[in-house]
A and B are shown apart, each in its own frame.
Chain A
Amino acid sequence: MISQYEVLETNEMIEKENLDVRTITLGISLLDCIDSDLGKLKNNIYNKITTTAEKLVETGQYIEKKYGIPIVNKRVSVTPIAMVGGSACKTSDDFVEIAKTLDEAAHKVGVNFIGGYSALVSKGMTAADELLIRSIPKALASTELVCSSVNVGSTKTGIDMDAVRLVGEMVKETAELTKDNDSLGCAKFVVFCNAPDDNPFMAGAFHGVTEADAIINVGVSGPGVVKTALEKVRGESFEVLCETIKKTAFKVTRVGQLVAKEASEKLNVPFGIIDLSLAPTPAIGDSVADILCEIGLEYAGAPGTTAALALLNDQVKKGGVMASSYVGGLSGAFIPVSEDQGMINAVTAGALTLEKLEAMTCVCSVGLDMIAIPGDTKSTTIAGIIADEMAIGMVNQKTTAVRIIPVIGKDVGDTVEFGGLLGYAPIMPVNKYDCSAFVNRKGRIPAPIHSFKN
């Protein structure tokens, strides 16, 4: 029988330590919607999303009530639109039309975001891929809930530098088109290396072509829970530290597993994966940086940060994999800047730089995330930053990503406010030296050798 102590512990996690299920994401394949007529295609897409996801939000709310656990986001991810729209879209504006349809469908079913306005171009771009990438600025500026991603590299294929260069330009253009909103459009776009097919988190969620027709993926959260658990073992050995993180990650993931199974049954959609990520929010006490501080750093970014983060990331996975048989997505610790009060503090204090963040991304989930940089940063410099991050993913056989926001009209010393879960961020300085001659080379970086590991 459940004891009063256990009930109390769970409820304290929920009420005081911000334990929540970050997202239930319903992946929907749009491959059966394909038509060469744009009007028909848009109709098919709208109908498929609004029928498949009709009860998603309602089901989420039902589960919240049943277990007394908040489910912060209900989202939809779809097949990369470059594939779906390939035969119907002759211009970038045609793709923007599809983005608007996705936005309408998302509003209709009441989800928080819809992801999958994406192209997978790790080895090369088709004409449709390129049209889609070129349409991203306009698509993000003219929609509210659509999120976009581009996969420009992988360990098996290398990095498509033509796509990296193009994405650099598109990030800049997106910033320009949404400059009245502090370049918010860029917060809805992410560029990947080794993008997973089943990631439930935005902005990078899309429904991979290897997936079933529809699938439920769940992302858990709970940095605050880990932080509180670690407060009780201050000064203890690494063994105790790791053990505590593992146990906590186990508990958090089990909640995700329960919610995923229930949602899957209720919606009659198969359960895909649990994403074990520690995802922070701007709420006080819901910070991954605070965990690093609790492990023993004055600020995130201090010497030792990469080691502490590597430890944290690994223990979260070790605890989580026992709690669910199907783990996938990005799974690890996220280190976005604007969405994490502890990271913001570290940047403001001067403890955390772009270069240190890059090092941190070698050992944890995703990459350079929600980083605001000066609006006058050149597109080739942005492409250079992206290329660096992609190279880390390619060589280390992991997923890396860049979600960077050149805030038009702002410079180092300014702060930018995105609002809601996206938080706020101080503008971070970028290395001023030029990389355009490198970025402007045509072609791709070859795939790395998988032997002679050094």
Chain B
Amino acid sequence: MKKTIITVVGKDTVGIIAKVCTYLAENGINILDISQTIVQEYFNMMMIADVSGTEKQFGTICDELDALGKEIGVMIKCQREEIFDSMHRI
């Protein structure tokens, strides 16, 4: 399993989750967990996903999600889980 954290931040609008999830489904990326909040009209979502099922390079997924984010008007970041683990877990 290659756990990846996808964060989406931006102004709330209809269909953000739908679009991100569609992209992930099309690329064989399995979602393990989603949490989402809206603070002062700002959409804030964190997803934990497993990218081991996709054939695409990790860098390509990052770039495509970034492009998708620009399309919807939000910021999408895709990072491997290890950076958070090493920073926040002893």
Contacts and interface: CB of A to CB of B under 8 A. Distances in A.
A128 B44 CA distance: 62
Contacts of B84: 2, 6-7, 10
A65 interface: yes
Q: Which A-B residue pairs are the 8 nearest by beta carbons?
A: A68-B79, A67-B83, A254-B86, A65-B59, A6-B88, A4-B46, A258-B86, A2-B84
B58 A7 contact: no
A43 B42 CA distance: 58
Interface in B36-66: 37, 44, 46, 48, 58-59, 62
A251 interface: yes
Interface residues of A, number: 20
Contact of A2 (B37, B77, B81): B81
23 contacts: A1-B33, A2-B5, A2-B85, A4-B35, A4-B44, A6-B87, A6-B88, A8-B46, A9-B88, A10-B84, A10-B88, A65-B59, A66-B80, A67-B79, A68-B78, A68-B79, A69-B83, A251-B88, A254-B87, A255-B83, A255-B86, A258-B82, A258-B86
B8 to A, nearest CB: 11
Contact of B7 (A11, A69, A251, A257): A11
B79 A66 contact: yes
B53 to A, nearest CB: 18
A438 interface: no
Contacts of B46: 4, 7-8
Contacts of A10: 83-84, 87-88
A62 interface: yes
Interface of A: 1-2, 4, 6-11, 62, 65-69, 251, 254-255, 257-258
Report the interface size class on chain B: 20 to 34
Given A2-B85, A66-B59, 5 more contacts: A2-B48, A2-B88, A6-B88, A11-B77, A255-B86
A63 to B, nearest CB: 10
A257 B48 contact: no
A176 B58 CA distance: 50
Contacts of B33: 1
B88 A258 contact: no
A7 B34 CA distance: 13
Nearest to B85: A2
B86 A257 contact: yes
Interface core residue of B5, B86, B88 (most chain A CB under 10 Å) = B86
A7 B5 contact: yes
A62 B59 contact: yes
A4 B79 CA distance: 13
A8 B75 CA distance: 13
Contacts of B78: 68
Contacts of B59: 62, 65-66
